Amino acid sequence: MKKILSLFVLVLLIAGNTVCAGTKSQKKKADEHTATWNYEVETTAKNASGNYLLKVWSFSKNTFIAEEQAKKNAVHAIVFQGAPANKEKRITPLKPLLQDPILEEKHADFFKKFFAEGGEYKRFARISNSGLADIINYGKKDMKYKVGVVVMVEIAALRKYLEQCGIIKSLSHGFN
């Protein structure tokens, strides 16, 4: 009985390590896909603090990884694209925090580090719908998923951080 139990534990350990290794590999691939910034964004709400709730649609072969990438994609959208209007909820569009496209290239090293795994972007985004994602099969050939997750982005804190890092100028810059 001990031998069978020991063998069972050994098999579980090997299987667990294989799953973890696969997850790391998938996460690396997801980071590579994110480098192309392939996502869609919908504005779902804006709270009194000025934070936006965005439904971010990420594309991946692994739904869990797509959920994690949604935070990165939401912050990227606010910084570089802004947030679209939502006429039904009377939410006006938000302009991107970084309005000069030259600054993205100029500060490429900063943004590479900022959006790296475990990077500072995580401070400004939270999954808002308790991890409940909308999942749509996307492509029969390679079994991709389009995963929609609601993410809250703390825009004021993000703006302040980018100002402190010298990436963007403060709103009061022109009045000094």
What are the pLDDT digits (tens) for 94-103? 999 998 888 8
- Note the pLDDT of residue 67: 78
Which has the higher per-residue pLDDT, 72 or 170?
72
Residue 30 lies in a domain: yes
- Note the pLDDT of residue 50: 85
What's the mean pLDDT in 88-99?
Answer: 92
Residue 142 lies in a domain: yes
108, 116 Cβ separation under 8 angstroms: no
With cut-offs at 50, 70 and 90, classify the pLDDT of residue 68.
confident
Lowest mean pLDDT among 29-33, 44-48, 143-147: 29-33
Q: For residue 80, which amino acid is it?
A: F
Measure the CA–CA gap between 96 and 93, rounded to whole angstroms. Answer: 10
Residue 2 lies in a domain: no
Query: Is a pLDDT exceeding 60 seen at residue 89?
Result: yes
Residue 46 lies in a domain: yes
Measure the CA–CA gap between 23 and 13, rounded to whole angstroms. Answer: 15
Which has the higher per-residue pLDDT, 10 or 155?
155
Query: Is a pLDDT exceeding 70 seen at residue 80?
Result: yes
**What average pLDDT does the chain have?**
80
Q: Which domain holds residue 95?
A: 25-175
Closest CA to 125 of 95, 90, 161: 161
- Note the pLDDT of residue 59: 86
Place of tokens 């997850």: 23
Q: How many domains does the chain have?
A: 1
Residue 16 lies in a domain: no
40, 56 Cβ separation under 8 angstroms: yes
With cut-offs at 50, 70 and 90, classify the pLDDT of residue 20.
very low
Residues 6+ apart with CB under 8 A from 157: 123, 124
What's the mean pLDDT in 41-45?
Answer: 94
What's the mean pLDDT in 103-122?
Answer: 93
Measure the CA–CA gap between 54 and 134, rounded to whole angstroms. Answer: 13
Q: For residue 55, which amino acid is it?
A: K
